[in-house]
Amino acid sequence: MSDPNTPPPASDFIRDRVRADLDSGKVQQVVTRFPPEPNGYLHIGHAKAITLVFSIAKEFGGRCNLRMDDTNPEKEAQEYVDAIQDDVRWLGFEWDGLYYASDYFPQLFAWAEQLIENGLAYVDDQTAEQIADSRGTVRAPGKDSPFRDRPVAENLDLFRRMKSGEFPDGSKVLRARIDMAHPNLNLRDPVMYRVRKLHHQRTGDEWCIYPMYDWAHGQSDSIEGITHSLCTLEFEHHRPLYDWFCEKLGIWHPQQIEFARLNVEYMLTSKRKLLRLVEEQHVDGWDDPRMPTIRGLRRLGVPPEALVAFCRHVGIAKVNGTHELALLEHFVRDWLNQHAERRMAVLDPVELVIENWPSPEHVEWLEAGNNPEDPAAGTRQVPFSGKLWIEREDFMADPPKKFFRLGPGREVRLRFGFFVTCTGFDQDDAGNVTCIRCTYDPETKGGNAPDGRKVKGTIHWVSQAHAVAVEARLFEPLFREPDPASADGDAFVAMLRPDSRRGVTAHCEPSLGEATGGQRFQFERVGYFYCDAKDSKPGAPVFHRTVGLKDSWKKVQAKGD
């Protein structure tokens, strides 16, 4: 059993580096940051990054900022800014400073002028296409722009006029003057600014030139005094450029360190592909419980503590790998087992009639423990009567020896209730069992026989007269294949599982009728369920199956076949 507060591994290549920088005195206090672009919702991969950067700051007594990397108004929106903050907080983290890259536009502009003055940046009049063509390829060097050697004064003048809006979109860019033959394509005079006459959600119409990622990101880190700038592996070849800008500017130089992004079986972590699932309505939205977004996992019922425990456990590395879904499920079950109260609900009902029950009106109230893992959770009263619902799969007309549930002549315990012995059953013309007849032993109330006899099986049940029918949604992975990301182009869409969501009516014990959004329960012997805050109405809760219970009977069965 894992404890969410388990101290993280004592060392890994990032923590080793942080410790070394602290020991050498290179930095006094660790400062990290989580820098999302507010152009979409956060997903499980971000959860890993968030857990990492906030944890490192905390472990070493440092600080961690949340910074919106809002340098491209074309795709960004306030809606995402709000959602990101909400998601980070839901995970249980609180930032020291909330910043926006757009707040640094004036400083960035001044620094760009400084680079121009030092002959390290120039205004290029080429089209995007020409720039792409002249960049060369991975094997062939690029060609210098005809505007590469413009005099400093002309560059300065042009750049200022770019800012004042004199030139149309795409007509000019500011580029760093590095080396068009550099083996690292990122150093072949990368674009720093482009002209985009767009309204920005924070700066309004103040700017019509916007900085590119490489130019904005490292400088923002520097301004905030970030000591360790953690990012994913695909930014490895950007590090030389990150370093170049800081060195040429002579400003505080944070250390960029890359780690492998998180991949989990059956999950996609490409914003583009997730957007497509939403737009084509393969899912109900970004918060669909089948989505790997933080909001989706939240509505699935995954507790934030479990998600964070998972993120801590997976550790960090420089190799991209894929984690088994079973590992995530382990952490989810682990937390839920300790915290979720138990209830009884029948998802696929079949009638059970107790033939020797005193009278149709007779009801016995039984005491049921709320959580065997937590006595403090107390008990509740559950009504028992002569007509019940039990799970269809808990009865077999001709059961094998290893089946411990109900069958003709067999005795089982009805959880918290009585021992019942099956005396017979009815079937319809198609052979479906329609009713199971039993007798009960009044001496076994509560579930124990005074004569000490044992039963091998215990099954759950719900009194028909008291049952509350509610909607339960059963989810399975969105994709049929464990690695949908491996599909080329549009192929991932064809991998969608047709029945990844199934709605059923759950017949529940009365107390479940009053469940409210956000509550989590274990439906005994079935699985963990989350009361969805979005679709539930007072008196009409909607439950989402977060994860099933482990089922060792299913394994025995599979072997028998």
Positions in 393-412 near RNA (CB under 7 A):
402-405
Q: Which of 17, 19, 37, 415 is catalytic?
A: 37
Q: Which is nearer to RNA, 458 or 536 (CB)?
A: 458
Q: How far is the CB of 30 from RNA (least distance, A)?
A: 19
Element (H, E) at 212: none
3-state helix, strand, coil in the chain (%, to 5): 35, 25, 45
CA angle 317/319/325 to nearest 5° reads: 85
Of 260 and 533, nearer to RNA (C-beta) is: 260
**CB 334, min distance to RNA, A:** 6
Site for RNA in 229-248 (CB under 7 A): 233-238
Nearer Cβ to RNA, position 235 or 266?
235
Is residue 147 within 8 A of residue 193, CB to CB? The reply is no
State in angstroms the smallest separation of the CB of 472 from RNA.
16
Does residue 11 interact with RNA by CB under 7 A?
A: yes
Residue 290 CB, nearest approach to RNA (Å): 21
> Which amino acid is residue 115, in one-letter code?
L
Residue 260 DSSP label: P
Residue 37 is a catalytic residue: yes
Integer Rg of the chain from CA: 31
362 burial class (0-12, 13-18, 19+ CB within 10 angstroms)? exposed
Binding of RNA at residue 545 (CB under 7 A)?
no
- Binding residue (CB under 7 A) for RNA from 46, 63, 194, 473: 194
Cα–Cα–Cα angle for 296, 298, 301, rounded to 5 degrees = 110
What is the total residue count of the chain? 561
Of the candidate spans 110-118, 208-216, 352-360, 504-512, the one that interacts with RNA by CB under 7 A turns out to be 208-216
Is residue 345 within 8 Å of residue 526, measured between CB atoms?
yes
For the segment 504-523, give every residue that binds RNA (CB under 7 A): 522
- Catalytic, 271? Answer yes
Q: Per-residue string for binding with RNA, 137-156, x by CB under 7 A?
A: xxx-----------------
Report the site for RNA in 64-83 (rule: CB under 7 A). Answer: 69, 71-72, 74-75
Q: Which of residues 283-342 bind RNA (CB under 7 A)?
A: 313-324, 326-327, 330, 333-334, 337, 342
Question: One-letter amino acid identity for 142?
Answer: G
As a whole number of angstroms, the distance between CA 12 and CA 229 comes to 16
User: Of these residues, 163, 172, 175, 271, which one is catalytic?
Assistant: 271
- Residue 371 Cβ, how far from RNA at the closest point, in Å? 7
Q: Which of 261, 387, 445, 480 is catalytic?
A: 261
Least distance between RNA and beta carbon 173 (Å) = 5
Over the window 362 to 391, marking each residue x when it contacts RNA by CB under 7 A and - when it does not, the resulting string is ---------xxx------------------
Pairing mode of beta strands 501-508, 433-441: unpaired
Smaller CB separation from RNA, 322 or 511? 322
Locate 356 and state its tokens: 């020797």
Cβ contact 189:175 at 8 Å: yes
Is 255 or 536 the residue whose CB approaches RNA more closely?
Answer: 255
The widest CA-to-CA distance across the chain, in whole angstroms, is 103
- For residue 149, the tally of other CB atoms under 10 A from its CB is 11
For 182-304, list the strands marked E by DSSP: 191-195, 209-211, 228-232, 255-259
Q: How far apart are CA 465 and CA 97, in angstroms?
A: 56
437 to 466, contacts with RNA by CB under 7 A?
446-448, 457-459
Instruction: Say if strands 542-548 and 468-475 run parallel, antiparallel, or are unpaired.
Output: parallel
- Our CB check for RNA shows the closer of 138 and 430 to be 138
Q: Please measure the distance between the N-terminal and C-terminal CA atoms of the chain and give it in whole angstroms.
A: 33
Which one of residues 28, 78, 118, 127 is an interface residue with RNA (CB under 7 A)? 127
Residue 261: active-site member: yes
Rounded Cα distance, 194 and 212, in Å: 8
Q: How far is the CB of 230 from RNA (least distance, A)?
A: 14
Q: Which stretch binds RNA (CB under 7 A): 41-49, 494-502, 509-517, 548-556?
A: 548-556
Nearer to RNA, 407 or 536 (CB): 407
Taking the complex as a whole, how short is the minimal distance between the CB of residue 46 and RNA, in angstroms? 11
Which positions are catalytic?
A: 37, 261, 271
